[in-house]
Amino acid sequence: MTKIHKIHDRLSLNQKPTSSLREQAIDVTPALERSVRYLVSLQQADGSWEGEVVWCPMLPAQYVLMCHITQTPISPERRQAILQQFNTTRLSCDLWGLHDKSQPYLFVTTLVYVAARLLGVQKEDPLLSPALQFIRDQGGVLAIPTWGKFWLAMLNLYDWCGVNPVLPEAWLLPQWIPAHPGNFYCHTRLIYMPMGLIYGRKFQVSVTPLIETLRSELYIEDYQEVNFNAARSMLRPEEVYHPSTPVLQAIYKLSNLYERWHNKDWRQEAIAQMIDCIRFELQTTDYTSLSPVSGLLNIIALWLHDPNDADLHKALERFEGWIWQDEKSGLRITGARSSTWDTGFAIQALQATSPHVDVSDSLLQAQQFLATQQIRTTFPNIEDFHRIDPKGGFCFAGVWHGWPVSDCTAEALLALLDAPPEVTANCSLLDSVKFILRCQNADGGFGSYESRKIRSTLEWMNPAEMFANSMTEHSYIECTASCIMALREFQIRYPEMMGDEIDRAMQRGGLWLRKQQKLDDSWLGFWGVNFIYGTMFAVQGLVAATNTANDPAIRKACHWLVSKQRPDGGWGEHFQGCLSGEYVEHTESQVTQTAWAMIALLKAEANHWPEITRGANFLIDMQLENGGWAKQDWSGVFFHTALLDYTLYRAYFPVWALALYESLRQKKLNI
């Protein structure tokens, strides 16, 4: 956008009022129109939106390792695309980390190094020589985090006695015991389920000349002389976010004792049960699994069970759905698929723009798509597989995924409540409400995929040193706020349906939200960076819960947001706050975070019009000629340490913020 064009946008006020508000306000309609055109241009033929959810090269590296283990060939074209991804994801130090702003990780760097070597890259190649030097500078791979030890053990590059036990017999424990894996967070239990099966078999690939060579490269001393028993507790400190507790260390010791004299019949019974669980997981997710992380392990586990298994080959075929590829960045494996999530937000952004820009055709097409993405049935025997009833829910990805989420369902419900009757006839809004209510926890907050099954968070036995708060469901600010908003809007339109139950759920959810407000008046997010994200949702959730914007907690939160505005009018929060638990200001304002702050202030009708206007000016300043906004720092996160790039966040959140701004401007000026 040219400078003249931007100045024209800000001076295009033709309204009569002459108050200070008129002097402060700007007409954002031209910028809004451009941004809507850009957003609509990204809509797919079926009416949906889906942006890539970018993570790190851990996943394509593990894909290569899986193919080597299961003897699945990789074509020359795919080999080249994977190596291109490894090349483009190197950090400035030529190593690899957990995200694009990460420190180098021995875990990720080692997996990429081994994968590239298996693809035929020589150790002297410029792609790998810095990685080999880094590995050897660390004393080899002995201190790699436990997930790295596990993958290397399958490749016969680490001895199983150096890997902390993942006992399959844990699945035979009575389900009332809190440590039963069925009580774990769904991602955690579905990762450790195939890991348990693989560990129980102690599988390792055959030693080949290449494996022998890799052993000599990954270790300083001779492989046969390595004390793997001692290495079991060795961890590179820079990669440990959640150190193992004394209780977990005691569990490891007891598990190692059991492993020496384990009961073979129990083991076979446990493995047979786990195979049934893996089959159920595949069959209810269109053979994709909950995530590519668990999906790769499921493929290996089924291959160990039977290389000719029909479910195995379907899983290999459907794993292609996790893959994104282009010439520039090569082959990536996405952290998640997101068509329902992205479409729900894009619809709401367009609904906000509809008073100012004609988006009726795009909106209708999107709502028609979204209405088809609801899970309409209950899966058989769900209790046997530690699942709640998914009926009525919407997934993060699409209906094929089979794992509905509370806030995905809530955002889809918000996007569909005002859809034409012929659209909503294809889904059940009431079933969505029932699914949302099934996700409410005893403390009043809402979980993500399900409600928490036990009181303890089990963090005292968290074995994933690189991540935290990953053992059980929690009550999340974002999920709770989205669910309250959806319940409120549903109740407004259908007051005769489940009125008392919805009232109780909103009241409990609102009280929980209020208790989570920090002393500085912000809220801590979990799925985004970080306090701005959490505060945006919490403000909207409290507005819905209290049915007013004049609540003191909301006003304090708005003051907190305004206090974080940067001199250029934008907001910018650094991801380091996810690690420290404190707000860390970014060196640059971020478009997505500015939109989040503005949405919170506008939904609260905050008395901070000059600051909101400065935010709108910042968004217009940053807008590109095509109506979109340039890529900046990643704004998604999970388990505190893993950053994600939700590539469409910068396409619809700014549209939403500008649309809300224009609506409130016109309301204040009585246009």
SS3 68: helix
Report phi then psi at 330, rounded to 5. 75, -150
Distance CA 229, CA 454 (A): 34
Residue 376, token pair as written in the block = 């309409």
Distance CA 103, CA 87 (A): 17
| 407 is a catalytic site residue | yes
Which residues fall within 8 angstroms of residue 80, CB to CB, at 6 or more apart?
330
SS3 629: strand
Residue 656, token pair as written in the block = 């939403």
Residues in the chain, how many? Answer: 671
Distance CA 516, CA 215 (A): 50
Distance CA 30, CA 461 (A): 55
Which residues fall within 8 angstroms of residue 332, CB to CB, at 6 or more apart?
52, 54, 59, 60, 85, 323, 324, 325
Which is the catalytic residue, given 9, 407, 551, 645? 407
Supply the Cα-derived Rg of the chain in whole angstroms. 26
Closest-CA residue to 470 (of 479, 483, 489, 457): 457
Closest-CA residue to 508 (of 451, 468, 552): 451
Alpha-carbon torsion 240, 246, 247, 252, what sign? positive
The single-letter DSSP state of residue 332 is E
Distance CA 621, CA 637 (A): 27
CB count in 10 Å sphere of residue 119: 18
55: number of CA atoms within 13 Å, CB side? 21
Alpha-carbon torsion 524, 634, 394, 287, what sign? negative
Closest-CA residue to 346 (of 564, 120, 47, 62): 47
Active-site residues, by number, are 407
